[in-house]
Chain A
């Protein structure tokens, strides 16, 4: 076949009667072939490309506009013919590049409709939409991470592309699925990011904020899809229209890139560096979490059964070496199985940490502070249940660091520090414990202020003999921090006392160190898993109890001279430079036949900070890993106990609730009065 010429295109154009869409498509395909023909001069091909762009835009040919659309095509073709006839001389007449035409006419209509609701077409493919929900969330998470990266390195082209692609992909896919409201909004967001990509618009001024809000709004829209699938017509978020409009006109508040790409010096700035996650190529299997929990539980039972067998007289006495060897072999396999099954539930801390970068950013912006937020060790793995439980404490710590730790830029400069404060989160594993540290370089905890507030709140009467650690610990005291301070971020008001109590319930502990003027470090220490407890088995009278080893600081037999009675506070013991209240466990738990004299038993130091207490027990029987179980509905919750576990000899041991016993021994406010 002979090569197509412009004349062929003209012929195809002449064949385009009004209303003949097929003829237009034929013309379009001819034009494409011509554009691809490199033997034609480039101005000709450019003009033909213009004609294709017009033909590709259905809005140009809607109803009465069709004649105008055809006229535009004719003009573009004329330019091509002119170039073909006059050669390069006509090149300069080429019109400036046409603006990219977005081809979502029906979406524009929907976004302006009278009833702003999220609707799903009746013939929608539900499974496809469900896939879309999951995928859109992933893209939006990626976009959020990229936006945070962009704030620290505004010229990172990859990050811009990541954000753009998220909006772009969501727009494209949702348009197929008939999710017009989502496609319409994503379209506006994509437009703005496209302008940033093209350096028409700086990633500065209102643009970062608008981008974050666009991500948020899309998340909201995506979350509303299940309701829409269920037949409801969820209303679009209130800011839908306003934000769409702002995304279309960001420059009204933004700085053009040609002036300066720098963020003004006094503007709040926040940096987040999280290592780019490399998706693993390993094939994955999705498993329901309750099945996984059941598996871990059954393996726990197996471990107990194995322990019982190991401790059975017949096996232990090892009269039959052959049998003993087989049992040891089985034991080794059971232990490995236990490690494996626990590993299945381990997930990286990332889930609880990623959100924090955004929290720091928002808080810093609101309070006019400049903060660099860095994260290390986000891949540290802990039991899935703990990741969820860690979210609240971390949020509080971060909020504290930003609100109370980091100073305003002017104050920092005055103190000889850089205006940019740093908040660093470090997660690491130490043995079977995980450590999460939040380090800030702010003003540090101020002893005087804490003491004044604690006295004002009636928590203490004087701090004369309190160490710094004891004073810092007061911020965890009930009534010290008020719930209204945290409502805005966490969405539910919980004070620091609740944070600590929740951590204690997870057998975790908190430690604060701080140096005035140099910053503070909050450390949370948690077990890697709650499925298995390392327990110390203690005897009190004829009863045996299990004390979680993680909560025991040390054990000792006191010298008679170290035990004394303080007025109004009962029995105390002096040990290693501190004075601790003594709790006789047999009294607290109402057990008969135990040692009465403190010097006849063993003292076990438990608790943190101001809650350190010495428990009196009769004897330490040994350590054992136990699988904690609730006491069951028939018994319900018992004060002083967290549950029970089957011991090696098949009998049940009760696990002590150390935290509750300490609090109960000190009256209701749970804080030791200043000694």
Chain B
């Protein structure tokens, strides 16, 4: 399963990629902003997106909306990485088509749990 990890911080990308590796996912494509992430997604082969929320130019929410507006992006699982969870954030994320989010800082097991949760809902739907 190929992951697309989107974050403007190279260090954060490394952290996410390392975490994915530890829970057995080692096929990862990285992007440092929404625009290049969209381009990489359009190339095909991506089956799971993990994106940062707060990024310059295109926010994680806008990126999610962009993915959802594509024919091939309607159902792809999108997990958002964020630092806070308030009513507005949750609703905004859901409106943008985000499947779930994981709070920083997280451990690899927590990330696995979130990925599994998203995948099981996607499988049920």
Contacts and interface: CB of A to CB of B under 8 A. Distances in A.
Contact of B83 (A33, A135, A168): A168
Interface string B1-18: 000000011111011001
A412 interface: no
B104 A176 contact: yes
B25 to A, nearest CB: 18
Tell me whether chain A's interface is mostly helix, strand or loop, or mixed: helix
A52 B84 CA distance: 11
Contact of B12 (A1, A35, A169): A169
A197 to B, nearest CB: 10
A102 interface: yes
Interface stretch (A92-100, A520-528, A616-624): A92-100
Contacts of A45: 91, 94
Contacts of B39: none
Interface string B74-108: 00000000011111111100100001100111000
Contacts of B14: 128, 131
Interface residues of B, number: 31
B87 A49 contact: yes
B49 to A, nearest CB: 16
Contacts of B125: 1
A57 interface: yes
Given A100-B89, A103-B84, A169-B54, A175 B105 contact: yes
Contact of A100 (B86, B103, B124): B86
Contacts of B99: 36
A165 interface: yes
B23 interface: no
Interface string A92-119: 0000011111111000000000000000
A67 to B, nearest CB: 21
Contact of B91 (A35, A102, A125, A168): A35
Contacts of B87: 46, 49-50, 53, 97-98
A49 B87 CA distance: 5
A443 interface: no
Given A33-B121, A135-B9, A169-B54, A46 B91 contact: yes
Contacts of B88: 49, 97, 100
Given A131-B10, A169-B54, A172-B83, A52 B90 contact: yes
A53 B9 contact: no
Interface in A22-66: 25, 29, 32-33, 35-36, 45-46, 49-50, 52-53, 56-57
A29 B117 contact: yes
B54 A36 contact: no
B72 interface: no
B113 interface: yes
Contacts of B105: 172, 175-176
Contact of B90 (A53, A99, A102, A125): A53
B45 interface: no
B56 A161 contact: yes
Given A56-B103, A128-B14, A131-B14, A173 B86 contact: no
Nearest to B14: A128
Interface of B: 8-12, 14-15, 18, 54-56, 83-91, 94, 99-100, 103-105, 113, 117, 121, 124-125
Given A45-B94, A101-B84, A132-B11, 8 more contacts: A35-B94, A49-B87, A53-B86, A168-B54, A168-B83, A175-B105, A176-B12, A176-B15
Interface of A: 1, 25, 29, 32-33, 35-36, 45-46, 49-50, 52-53, 56-57, 97-104, 125, 128, 131-132, 135, 139, 161-162, 164-165, 168-169, 171-173, 175-176
